Amino acid sequence: MDNLTEDRKKIKEGFLGQQMIVLPPDIKRDVAKNVLIKSLYLTDIGYYPRAINHDRERKCGSQQYILLYCIDGKGYIKLGKAEYQLTPNTYFIIPKGMPHRYKTSHADPWSIFWIHFTGEHAEALCSRYFIDHQPVIKSIPYDQQRIELFNLIYSILENSFSLRNVELTNIKLLQFLSSFIYHEEMYPAYYSTDQINSSIKFMKENLDKCYSINELASGLKYSVSHYSDLFKKKTGVSPIHYFNQLKIQESCQYLYFTNLTIKEIGFKVGFNDPYYFSRMFKKLMGLSPANYRNCYKK
């Protein structure tokens, strides 16, 4: 089982395409005294794409709160005896000072945005996220503007640690964190009725079948254009692309945990043409099904 009980090679940093900035100690001391931003400020920020073998443990916890936001793959977080699974379009905030461990899935490595933050108001802000004073995994629809805001924060810091840059970074930080914690209040219509969720549930229950976008849209009594627009707004991708992602994710499990042939696995996830299945798998995973099995089943 791919969870925190497994012991595999740990990699703390060093991923292809990674982004990471850690504020120097003197800058952090200045920020903690800055009247504009000392109430809420970041100390570390980064993005780890396809973070294979990422595994981090802090037995004494962190001096800051840690936001982990997953956009692809999956991973696991352990706090005490509680274990949580982070999947695409979910996030989690690790409380300050709490011993923890988090790691990527071996079979399906996560891509995560992360921020360490603290300040006089950090505890109060996180209390709006906790349920019964406990952290929880929360789902949130993909929003390109949120990603662009993260990139803006990162690029400002990357440019320099000047006074004005650091101030602007942390002013934008509150906006970024609010896009998670106050999402329900910002977009109440999204939470009142969400037909796209039911469509995603239908996809997950029918991975062995093949449906056209017309069939998926008609199932909700939507036009293809309206259905596509709503679906992309929620997930960031088209319905068929999302459906294929689910199928390929499922096929990864078969490749890793079974001895079924590539052709048999293709049939199980709704691809009657094994060559098309292999092409789709390589397009989404970066390597063929056979190479994936060889790499990860060792």
- Asked if residue 92 is part of any domain, the answer here is yes
- 38 with 104, same domain: the answer is yes
Q: How far apart are CA 30 and CA 77, in angstroms?
A: 32
- Asked if residue 6 is part of any domain, the answer here is no
**Residue 154 corresponds to which tokens in the numbers above?**
């990162």
- 218 with 233, same domain: the answer is yes
- 147 with 200, same domain: the answer is no
Q: Residue 86 burial (CB < 10 Å; 0-12/13-18/19+)?
A: buried
- Asked if residue 108 is part of any domain, the answer here is yes
User: At residue 235, does pLDDT exceed 50?
Assistant: yes
Residues 6+ apart with CB under 8 A from 144: 236
Q: How many CB atoms sit inside 10 A of residue 75's CB?
A: 27
Predicted pLDDT at 15: 65
Q: How many CB atoms sit inside 10 A of residue 224's CB?
A: 14
Q: How far apart are CA 281 and CA 85, in angstroms?
A: 24
Predicted pLDDT at 243: 96
| Cβ–Cβ < 8 Å for 106, 2 | yes
The string of pLDDT tens digits covering residues 86-114 is: 999 999 999 999 999 999 999 999 999 99
Question: Final residue of a domain: which of 124, 159, 186?
Answer: 186
- 83 with 165, same domain: the answer is yes
Predicted pLDDT at 187: 76
Predicted pLDDT at 14: 61
User: What average pLDDT does the segment 224-243 reach?
Assistant: 90
- 217 with 173, same domain: the answer is no
Q: How far apart are CA 145 and CA 14, in angstroms?
A: 27
Q: How far is CA 24 from the centre of its chain?
A: 27
Q: What is the pLDDT confidence band of residue 295, given thresholds at 50, 70 and 90?
A: confident
The string of pLDDT tens digits covering residues 53-78 is: 999 999 999 999 999 999 999 999 99
Predicted pLDDT at 196: 86
Q: How far is CA 107 from CA 64, 229, 263, 292, 295, in A?
A: 30, 31, 20, 9, 10
Predicted pLDDT at 298: 57
SS3 call for 56: strand
Q: How far is CA 25 from the centre of its chain?
A: 29
Predicted pLDDT at 188: 66
The string of pLDDT tens digits covering residues 5-19 is: 444 444 455 666 789
The parent domain of residue 199 ranges over 193-296
Adjacency order of strands within the sheet including 138-139? 19-22, 41-48, 111-118, 65-72, 90-94, 138-139
- Asked if residue 75 is part of any domain, the answer here is yes
- Asked if residue 12 is part of any domain, the answer here is no
Q: How far is CA 202 from CA 98, 249, 274, 280, in A?
A: 38, 16, 24, 21
User: At residue 193, does pLDDT exceed 60?
Assistant: no
- 182 with 197, same domain: the answer is no
- Asked if residue 57 is part of any domain, the answer here is yes
- 123 with 148, same domain: the answer is yes
Question: Final residue of a domain: which of 129, 157, 186?
Answer: 186
CATH number at residue 282: 1.10.10.60
- 109 with 38, same domain: the answer is yes
- 72 with 182, same domain: the answer is yes
Question: What does the radius of gyration of the chain's CA atoms come to, in whole angstroms?
Answer: 21
Percent of the chain with pLDDT over 70: 92
Range 291-298, long-range pairs (CB < 8 A, 24+ positions)? 292/252, 292/255, 293/255, 293/256, 296/106, 296/107, 296/255, 296/256, 297/255, 297/256
- Asked if residue 10 is part of any domain, the answer here is no
Question: Final residue of a domain: which of 156, 186, 216?
Answer: 186
User: What average pLDDT does the segment 234-254 reach?
Assistant: 92
DSSP designation for 115: E
- 132 with 240, same domain: the answer is no
The string of pLDDT tens digits covering residues 112-146 is: 999 999 999 999 999 999 998 899 999 999 999 99
244, amino acid identity: N
- 157 with 211, same domain: the answer is no
Predicted pLDDT at 9: 45
Helices (H), 89-238: 122-127, 144-159, 163-181, 183-186, 188-192, 195-205, 213-219, 224-235
DSSP designation for 236: S
Counted domains in the chain: 2
CATH number at residue 51: 2.60.120.280
Q: How far apart are CA 104 and CA 106, in angstroms?
A: 6
pTM over 0.95: no
Q: Which of 11-15, 49-53, 191-195 has the lowest mean pLDDT?
A: 11-15
- 104 with 26, same domain: the answer is yes
β-strand pairing of 82-86 with 75-79: antiparallel
- Asked if residue 67 is part of any domain, the answer here is yes
